[in-house]
Structure 1
Amino acid sequence: MEFSLLYFANREAEDPPQEYELLIKAAEFADANNFTALWIPERHFHPFGGAYPNPALAAAALATRTQRIRLRAGSVVLPLHDPLTVVENWSFVDNLSYGRVDLAFAAGWNPNDFVLAPDRYENRREYTFDAIDTVRDLWAGKAVLRENGEGVAFETRTYPRPVQPEPNLWFTCTSSRSSFTQAGARGLNVLTALLFQSPEELAENIEHYRASREQHGHDPAAGKVTLMLHTFAGESDSSVRKTVRKPFINYLLSSIDLWKGQWPELQDGNPERLARLAFQRYFLTSALFGSVDKCTAFAQRLEAAGVDEIASLVDFGVEATEVLAALPYLEEVRRNLAGGTDTAHQ
């Protein structure tokens, strides 16, 4: 089991620059302690996650402050972009980091994001998979045929050329079985979460993912399943619960209007009550919250279910000093899962 950090702060912060200090300091800790990667999201036009409108920008900053840890887009919402600019941006980061870039792609779901590309919303999934193929070609140095400003077809290649001959690629899946099977069919890794699936449902989805890889000629064991979990490990379950309860409930409340279009029940219910119930579920079964022993046991259960990597979301509202002070407990969990092989895999 590998461990990484993932970021998705609510941008309504009293001291916005301090938010990025947490990004950098946590990244430096992870880099020094054999964590595998740093996952940076893409979020537009909403405070929830709004600290990260362009993951390549954050990755470029982190490339200069870290030495060995992987820098991952988690995720690029591909229908909002031209593959040409995606490859340009991330090739730059690949050079800046001496070849430490990985990419996860998402089809997107929030219609408001698509003010950037309204014509792609309806067919966003099809566009995403076609564009992934284009990204692969461009990264490898192949040309794509585009019409230039004079209406003439032009063979277009991207620069700078990346350091890595081929990037590691993930597809972001929420809970849809078809997303897992499509990722497997295309030989992609998977980035997922427990937002809309239980650990048991996740285990079933992973089985279908592995079967789909094998059915389409890919090594079923080679694909990596990365699971995002909200994370805070500490001295005891009770102390962690006391620390995270209020900020996590506020964090959930800050996202409700973002999800209302997808889940109508959020429109009819009492938001505070729904957030309190959600906190109970997360604390008991869907987050890496609690003592080192509790977190270790949950991580082992997920490993048995087929999860290869936990991406720990740490910036959900707990004070930055407390988050940083808790990271050594997460490092202890990581070492417990390492089983004596204390080396991060790339």
Structure 2
Amino acid sequence: MKFGIVFFPTVGPSDKSAEVYFDEALRLVDLAEELGFEHVKIVEHYFFSYGGYSPDPVTFLAAAAGRTRRVRLGTSATIPAFQHPVKLAGKLAMLDNISHGRLDAAFGRAFLPDEFKAFGIPMDESRDRFVEGVDAIKRLWTEEDVVFDGTFHRFGPVTLLPRPVQQPHPPVFVTTARSAESCAEAGRAGHHLQTVPNVMSTEELQSRLAVYRAEGAASGRTPGTEQIHFSYPCVVAEDGQEARRKGRVDDDRNSAAIRDAVASWGTTRSEAYPGYEKLVEATKTSHFESKMEQNKLLIGSPDQVRSQLEQISQWFGDDITISLGVHSGHLSYEDAAATMRLMAEQVLPKLNGGRG
């Protein structure tokens, strides 16, 4: 297993200013570099406390690039449907150069109706816009005099500058929360995979990973070359009860944030998102204790979290990468830093294979 950190702010101005949140997050980036974590990531969302402090991952990661030399920098994820592919390809290529080739480029479809409405994009087009956008970006990174004639974008001939440092292009990840077909498409396209285990059962996730790996192998990918990243909220303290108390506070606030963000699914339907209308009810029945029982949250003492990770390894394999959600903004910087230090010093060294 490899380990990094992911930032998914779920705070708003009434909780903590964006200025303070990003000051804290960038200090944690410094700590991730110091402690030897593999990557730093951040999401893209808008308007709500559910990720709304991060409308542009590239801006944050460029700041992170300027204060680090080793840690990889990942979008988790950026949304092609909301940007012209020439613009997004150029921003990401700049980041790859600024960071001397440390970019991991993850792309997602998005799923919040209010975001699509604000950008004037029909939700039913999201899958096609995603596929077209990623294809255009990869061509812009790898080809010259690109002529692109898509359904949503037409341009060319153009040659993108700057060219990415990583050749033929930065690693491309597909980020998916619930869609089995997105996992299959990612495998067929030869892309890496990012997902969130706490939105589905262990059996469902195992099935999706099997499909992803099978589709990749059928498309010619060498088994074992794919990267699979999971994101877990994480709170670690020397005292397990203290960790659970703080973790419960964090999870309750995170759950409230997503309830507000998905509320419009109560009146929205889209053929591209079958079953998503059930999200409203699902967020009402999500409980901290049941998540803990199912190992959907990494919370406890160092020994307790190590045991959780060993169980996760048995379920999904020891070749996965874990992104630790250490700072949604509701707990203090000191709490997040303590989690990272305890993970690096007391949890990871005791796992089979260490950090990988």
Q: TM-score, normalised by structure 1?
A: 0.89
The match for 1:231 is 234
Equivalent position SS for 2:160? coil
- What letter is aligned with 2:289? Q
Equivalent position to 1:322, from 335, 340, 345? 335
Q: Measure the CA separation in 2 of the matches of 1:172 and 1:202.
A: 14
Matched ranges for 1:241-260 at <5 A: 241-260=244-263
Equivalent position to 2:199, from 170, 175, 196? 196
Shift of 1:47: 2.0
Aligned length: 334
Shift of 1:264: 5.0
Deviations 1:230-255, CA, capped at 9 Å, x for gaps: 01122132121112222321221122
Equivalent position to 1:68, from 67, 70, 82? 70
Shift of 1:318: 1.2
Q: Which runs of 5+ in 1 are unaligned?
A: none
Shift of 1:265: 5.8
Shift of 1:260: 2.7
- What letter is aligned with 2:341? P
Matched ranges for 1:60-139 at <5 A: 60-115=62-117, 117-139=119-141
- Are the counterparts in 1 of residues 255 and 283 from structure 2 also a CA contact under 8 Å? no
Equivalent position SS for 1:114? helix
Which stretch shifts more, 57-66 or 90-99? Answer: 90-99
Q: Does 1:313 align with 2:315?
A: no
Equivalent position to 2:221, from 218, 221, 224? 218
- Are the counterparts in 2 of residues 192 and 227 from structure 1 also a CA contact under 8 Å? yes
Q: TM-score, normalised by structure 2?
A: 0.87
Q: Measure the CA separation in 2 of the matches of 1:22 and 1:79.
A: 30
Matched ranges for 1:159-308 at <5 A: 159-165=161-167, 166-262=169-265, 271=284, 274=285, 277-284=286-293, 285-304=295-314, 305-306=316-317, 308=320
Deviations 1:249-297, CA, capped at 9 Å, x for gaps: 12211220212344556756995xx4xx521122232011112122112
Shift of 1:146: 6.5
- What letter is aligned with 1:9? P
Cα distance change of structure 1 residues 211 and 50 upon mapping to structure 2, 3 Å threshold: same
The match for 1:24 is 26
Q: Which runs of 5+ in 2 are unaligned?
A: 266-275
Which stretch shifts more, 221-230 or 195-204? Answer: 195-204
Give the RMSD, CA atoms, in angstroms: 2.3
Shift of 1:73: 0.6
The match for 1:333 is 347
Deviations 1:122-154, CA, capped at 9 Å, x for gaps: 12112211221211111114333369xxxx974
The match for 2:271 is none
* Percent of aligned positions that are identical: 23
